[in-house]
Chains A and B, each alone.
Chain A
Amino acid sequence: MILLGEDLVDPYGGAFKVTRGLSTDFPGRVRSTPISEGAIVGICAGLALSGYRPIAEIMFGDFLTLCFDQIVNHIAKYEAMYNGKVVCPVIIRTPSGGGRGYGPTHSQSLEKHFLGVPHLRVVASSLVHDPAAVLRALLAQDSPVLLIEHKLLYPLHLILPEGGRIEGDIAEQHISSDGLPTVSIRPVPREACSFTVLAYGYQAELARRVLSRLAVEEEIFGELVVVSQISPLDWVPIDASVSVTRRLLVIEEGVEGFTWGSEVAARISSRFFGELRQPVVTAASDPTVIPTSKTLEARMLMTSGRVERAIRQVAA
């Protein structure tokens, strides 16, 4: 296994310190690179074709645009294009998302541009998934992976299901055939929940907090489904929830229009046509640049307040 990226090596240890200590523990296998995202990811492709398990760190998710060709036309294509003669198991990790005041080019959630790319897995870290287990599952299979890590999750503690519970809520874990978890969290049995909220990453944590409060303060009961792999989706746990609640809200931080939520809404509307009690609701950030100003950013991005408004809309 080899880790490549910008400014990874100690004492700096990466822009968000995710790799701190690794270059000291594994000299030669954790390398700082020039500012060359295309080459970083492309070199990982060559390593993977040669039997290595490379992991690339792209310092900000915004910079994924600089490796789009390598991901779409090379890494995701090699295995299928060469009729299964090779595999190219590159993992590309990247800190994403806003809320830190970094402005238009260091705050985006660009993963929607990679959803539906054939043979590419897009996975997002969440507090309710064990990152070591997710990484182990990803390393145990051969597809390339884009791993999205929301920056605001780094300082938070994991909230993993224990004994079927998360902080008093019922927490049910479903593991896909590829070993990737979906965690469904509900304050009361599913039959007593009147809607389902589907989310990932930092938005899932915002939704969890809002749902927890609404359950206690107003007896509004919804089930939160947190997926780790956002494309392609494992529909089993989503269908299981929506088939009972028959109402769905999909939340994401990326900007609205041609989104993850739109795809989910299309699939769920088709699967449950005639059974849903209302159209699927989608919530996403405004379709514009992310302002640097704290006030303007909070107005434009999906925040706790907007998550709550969306939940009230689906719960109404």
Chain B
Amino acid sequence: MVFVTDVAAPLAGWVDPRLAGASGEPRAMRLYRRMRFIRRFEESLLEMFERGLLNGTTHACIGQEADAVAVVEHLTDDDHVFSNHRCHGHFLARTGDALGLMAEIMGKPEGVCGGIGGSQHLCAPGFMSNGIQGGIVPSAAGIALAKKLDGGAGLSLVFIGDGTLGEGATYETLNLASLWKLPLVVVVEDNGWAQSTPSSANMAGSMHDRFAAFGIPVFEIDSTDVEEIDTVAGHALAQARTWEGPVAVIIHTYRLCHHSKNDDNRPAEEVAARWELDPIEIHGGRIAQSSRAKIDTEVESALREVIDRALSL
């Protein structure tokens, strides 16, 4: 990736052990810590929106944190991530730059894109996002082609949602990526709802077969358990690193929050039932009560500092 201007050192990246986990922390605890932080970061955002402290809009990934955290476990510094409108979890998991993101969403010059990009348009080393559905897939494929031409080790990964499978640019790119055997990983987070429209009203045929039709291997899982997703992502990324062409990862998950802000018409009982599968609780239950409480406290204090520092900028 070429950066023409100096990228400010992350204002507060994964260097903060309260967010990243100290080196040597067991993987299970790290996964929990990162999911917990993403959750609390976005809950705080929504709260700040309600209090009128933030401008514009946002798309939280509450309920889908396990996807970002598990997939990023398998990335290296050589890899590139492209994300979509619902990108905070991916960004935080990839870069750890919570203060840069918070300042960006607050519209401050110290934000990762100087307040120009805002919630949906982020750029950091090894990471970009854009708010146009499907349009990011060819960009990600172009980055994959560059990596292939460079003969380097990295691959290009793009997160899309189930709704994006309605976009033509996606299929043009799947065809080309498979034809040219590009090191591209397409991660579909199927949360069942495209804004207010259920998949059943959006999608004919099979999600899996859409990729299979282009000869792209599919790794599919229906889970909000970060450890299960971690395993599947590991297999998928290992396959992608054989450089035999793109792979797809389909994660059937659920969005526990509204699409953006205050726009949720889904049946209350459906949402309530899915809270039983909250990834934070599923995985949190595996961690000893005292350790979990300690992580929660550390995350809270780190988050408080991020918000206070961002507000004071």
Contact = CB atoms under 8 A, between A and B. Distances in A.
B142 A82 contact: no
Nearest to B132: A73
Interface stretch (A42-50, A242-250, A300-308): A42-50
B146 A50 contact: yes
Interface string A24-35: 000000000110
Nearest to B158: A46
Contacts of B128: 49, 78, 82, 86
B175 interface: yes
A202 B128 CA distance: 40
B172 A34 contact: yes
B2 A43 contact: no
B271 interface: no
A50 B147 contact: yes
B146 A52 contact: yes
Interface residues of A, number: 34
B212 interface: no
Contacts of B150: 50
B239 interface: no
Contacts of A49: 1-2, 128, 139, 142-143, 146
B9 interface: no
B53 interface: no
A39 B141 contact: yes
Interface in B36-82: none
Interface stretch (B115-123, B190-198, B274-282): B115-123
Given A81-B113, A81-B116, A48 B123 contact: no
Contacts of B153: none
Interface of B: 1-5, 7, 113-114, 116-117, 121-123, 128, 130, 132, 135-147, 149-150, 156, 168-169, 172-173, 175-176, 179
17 contacts: A34-B179, A36-B175, A36-B176, A42-B169, A45-B138, A46-B145, A46-B156, A49-B2, A50-B146, A50-B150, A51-B2, A69-B135, A69-B169, A74-B130, A84-B5, A85-B123, A142-B4
